[in-house]
């Protein structure tokens, strides 16, 4: 590059090459999204996720499960003053489409709330051929849905079946990332004779004040946080969302 009078490089060639190598690396740098329970999420959580994605130069996104709440379909008592199943679905879809616009490629795990539709169909004796896929219903064709997922020898699972992250990681001796437990946010390491594995609980992005989360009222506050897993599965980081920084309206309005 020809240097001009006003050209003042801030990086030397080594630093510049190091940054370019990092940006162009094929190594997985995973952003892990906590439980969102649409439409009972915090709107600014998406802003926090996008800032985290950019800060760590992530190239893959995993939603840890319970993407949508399905409160009206619950086998437990639902709020009689709440939305109908149809209205809740319509609003949840609008919330989800915000995420699809920002993260058009995402791996989404099934959680216990995600399974409510198939469980209701089973209870009613409806064959699975009559039930549409989540990608079709929510119009997210590029999102891939999984029961669990392994990336760089790290297991991503919702947690309702596996148990808490620390329990699953110690039991199975594989690094494990979970959601499900809304008040849990941590990274812990466990060491064996010849290996080390970590456990990460990523927290959530839910609105504790919404009626959909009323069942947990009186308990601990939810951990509003997300995770990133860098260096081909070797560096797990859990990040608390600084709520005071995200007081303004979200940059990503409902669609």
The whole-number pLDDT of residue 1 equals 46
The whole-number pLDDT of residue 23 equals 61
The whole-number pLDDT of residue 210 equals 96
C-alpha to C-alpha distance for 216 and 71, rounded to whole angstroms? 13
Whether 177 has a pLDDT exceeding 50, the answer reads: yes
Please say whether the beta carbons of 233 and 175 come within 8 A: yes
Q: Is 210 exposed, middle or buried (0-12, 13-18, 19+ CB in 10 A)?
A: middle
- What fold does the segment set 29-150+205-246 form as a domain? Purple Acid Phosphatase; chain A, domain 2 (3.60.21)
Residues 6+ apart with CB under 8 A from 75: 116, 119
Going by pLDDT thresholds of 50, 70 and 90, the confidence category of residue 15 is: low
Please say whether the beta carbons of 177 and 61 come within 8 A: no
Whether 7 has a pLDDT exceeding 50, the answer reads: no
pLDDT in tens, 202-245: 999 999 999 999 988 888 999 999 999 999 999 999 999 999 99
**Does residue 39 have a cis peptide bond before it, meaning omega lies within 30 degrees of 0?**
yes
Q: What is the DSSP string of the chain?
A: ----TT---SS-HHHHHHHHHHHH--S--EEEE-B--BTSB-TTHHHHHHHHHHHTT--EEEE-S--B--GGG-SSPPPTTS--HHHHHHHHHHHHHHHHHH-SSEEEE--TTTTHHHHHHHHTT--GGGSPPHHHHTT-TTEEEESEEEETTEEEE-STTT-SHHHHHHHHTSEEEE-S-TT-EEEEEEE-SS-EEEEEEE-B-B-TTSGGGGGGTTSPPP-BEEEEEETTTTEEEEEE--GGGG-SPPSS---
pLDDT in tens, 107-166: 999 999 999 999 999 999 999 899 999 999 999 999 999 999 999 999 999 999 999 999
pLDDT in tens, 35-66: 999 999 999 999 999 999 999 999 999 999 99
The whole-number pLDDT of residue 6 equals 55
- pTM of this prediction? 0.88
Domain boundaries, the chain: 29-150+205-246
């Amino acid at each position: 590059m020809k240097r001009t009078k006003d050209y003042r490089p801030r990086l030397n060639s080594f630093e510049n090459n190091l940054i370019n190598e990092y940006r162009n690396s094929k190594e997985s740098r995973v952003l892990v999204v906590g439980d969102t329970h649409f439409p009972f999420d915090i709107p600014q959580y998406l802003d926090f996720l996008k800032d985290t994605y950019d800060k760590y130069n992530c190239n893959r996104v995993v939603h840890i499960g319970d993407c949508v709440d399905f409160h009206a379909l619950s086998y437990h008592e639902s709020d009689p003053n709440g939305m109908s199943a149809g209205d809740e679905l319509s609003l949840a879809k609008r919330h989800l489409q915000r995420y699809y616009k920002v993260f058009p490629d995402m791996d989404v795990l099934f959680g216990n709330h995600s399974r409510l539709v198939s469980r209701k169909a089973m209870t009613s004796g409806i064959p699975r051929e009559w039930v549409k896929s989540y990608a079709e219903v929510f119009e997210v064709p590029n999102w891939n849905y999984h029961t669990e997922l392994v990336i760089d020898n790290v297991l991503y699972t919702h947690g309702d079946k596996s148990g808490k992250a620390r329990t699953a990681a110690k039991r199975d001796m594989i690094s494990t990332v979970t959601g499900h437990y809304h008040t849990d946010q941590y990274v812990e390491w466990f060491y064996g004779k010849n290996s080390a594995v970590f456990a990460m609980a990523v927290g959530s992005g839910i609105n504790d004040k919404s009626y959909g989360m009323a069942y947990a009222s009186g308990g601990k506050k939810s951990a509003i946080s997300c995770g990133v897993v860098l260096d081909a599965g070797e560096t797990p980081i859990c990040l608390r969302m600084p709520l005071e920084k995200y007081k303004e309206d979200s940059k990503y309005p409902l669609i």
